[in-house]
Amino acid sequence: MRENVLWTDLSLYGLSDALGVLGTPLSPTSVKLLLLDKRIGRRKIVKVLPGGRTPERNEQFEYIATLRSEYEDAGNPIFSIDSKAREHLGKLYRDGRVYAEAPFQAFDHDFPSWADGTVITHGIYDVLRNRGHLNLGLSYDTSEFACDSFRWFWQRIGRYHYPSATSILWLCDGGGSNSCRQYLFKQDLQRLVDAIGIEIRVAHYPTYCSKFNPIERRFFPHVSRACQGVLFDTLNTVVGLMRKTSTRTGLRATVHVIKRAYEKGRKVTEDFKANMRILFDNLRPNWNYKAVPQ
């Protein structure tokens, strides 16, 4: 609770009754108008408090700002990448409302075993162009899937918008399929740059700071809005809904399905560990490094 915030869990009728007992009878409607006048409304809990604090947080944020400025001035692309939460296909309940003649009908329980499959969404947000791309996977959210996702995007979309690019900047969280702590991600990243022939510099946001990744604020919320209140009954439905992602400020989205099955539990090769070509920065090398094609 916040000690300086006034709140009550009483309804308008409850407040009306309580005021009547205190000798100030007001109708529920009058109570509502009084609350509006005082700018008191029904509010939900907001998730804004960090679970912890990283000592080098400000230093890393300043470094990311410097990198973004350098890449923008050079005309090189900046991509914010991340994966959304796993979604279930089938007649399982989803939050949100839509205009309809009758409500959609979903199962009375949300058992994953009742789903017809799962969808893993990997997002790529083009910071400079305000465009987003989503690759939908059907198996697991692995580092190999994340790198394959970007390879597909770059070879078919990205390189045509940045034909003169000499380097790519990735902004991403510190965990998940692009974990800064995993050799496996760096191994798959090296294979990716060898395939596309252009270096990728990675800058991870500090622990507890994933919400500052641009994709979390400027793309994913609009994807969720485009899909709210509709059953993900088929893969085609999901693709169609996500393709409608847009804003009045020009955001648009493209969507592709990657049908390859990815393996969990892969191990990094000993050869990669012994001969790793990843170049680490002097400043916070665990968060800042680049892969150069050979």
Higher-pLDDT residue of 48 and 165 is 165
d(CA 118, CA 235): 9
CB-based contacts of 246: which residues, under 8 Å, 6+ apart?
222, 226, 252, 253
Asked whether the predicted pLDDT for residue 294 surpasses 80, the reply is: yes
- Determine the distance from the C-alpha atom of residue 289 to the mean position of all C-alpha atoms in its chain, rounded to a whole number: 22
Looking at the chain, the whole-number percentage of residues with pLDDT higher than 90 is 85
Asked whether the predicted pLDDT for residue 2 surpasses 90, the reply is: no
For residue 1, the model assigns a pLDDT of 66
Evaluate whether the domain defined by 57-291 bears CATH number 3.30.420.10: yes
Joined together, the tokens standing for residue 106 give 């979903």
For residue 53, the model assigns a pLDDT of 74
Residue with tokens 């410097």: 66
Asked whether the predicted pLDDT for residue 267 surpasses 90, the reply is: yes
Q: How far is CA 147 from CA 30, 65, 196, 218, 226, in A?
A: 58, 24, 11, 22, 26
Asked whether the predicted pLDDT for residue 81 surpasses 80, the reply is: yes
| pLDDT tens, residue by residue, 93-112 | 999 999 899 999 999 999 99
Q: How do beta strands 78-83 and 167-172 pair?
A: parallel
DSSP-derived secondary structure for 230-267: S---SHHHHHHHHHT-B-TTS-EEEEEEE-----SS--
- Extents of the domains making up the chain: 1-43, 57-291
Q: What integer is the mean pLDDT of 200-227? A: 95
Joined together, the tokens standing for residue 3 give 């000690």
d(CA 275, CA 268): 12
| pLDDT tens, residue by residue, 137-194 | 999 999 999 999 999 999 999 999 999 999 999 999 999 999 999 999 999 999 999 9
